[in-house]
Amino acid sequence: MPRTAKAEAPLSLDEDVIEGRYVELGGYTVAFETHKADMDPAPLFHGLPGDRCQCPHWGVVVRGKVIFRYADHDEVYQQGDAYYGGPGHLPLIFDGTELIEFSPTEALDATMAVVGANLEASKAR
């Protein structure tokens, strides 16, 4: 059975606001993320249906807190919580939060293509 651990996952992203380590296992991406600052990444999802993340995520909050905002409600997940974030959410991230998250790779890649393009466009301004 495929497996991974944070210490074995390659460092894929090391920015001012996030450190991310990602591994693909059986069609799912396992993400080990450490958030270094409060962040509302909502503008990065512009161009997706409803301007919201359409990729489902299953995860565990190792430390800190994350909020998934939906059109009609918010869901708050704190240290020790296991969660499911369905399509149509916007994350709100807090400094010091660590997550382990599982996402279908194909859906995540489609979402991240839009997020990446929006991030590059915001840097060009």
Q: If you write DSSP's letter for every residue of 1-28 in order, what string do you get? A: -----GGGS-EEEE-SSEEEEEEEETTE
What is residue 49's three-state secondary structure?
helix
Give me the pLDDT at residue 73, please: 98
Query: Which stretches within the chain are classed as H helix?
Result: 105-124
pTM, full prediction: 0.93
- What value does the CA radius of gyration of the chain take, rounded to a whole number of Å? 14
Residue 26 gets the label, from left (phi > 0), alpha (psi -120 to 50) or beta, of left
Give the pLDDT confidence score for residue 31 in this predicted structure.
Answer: 98
Model pLDDT, residue 1:
63
* Helix, strand, coil percentages for the chain (3-state, nearest 5): 25, 45, 30
Superfamily of 10-124 according to CATH: Jelly Rolls (2.60.120.10)
10-residue mean pLDDT series, the chain (125 residues) = 90 92 96 97 96 98 98 98 98 97 98 94 83
| Domain spans in the chain, listed from the N-terminal domain onward | 10-124
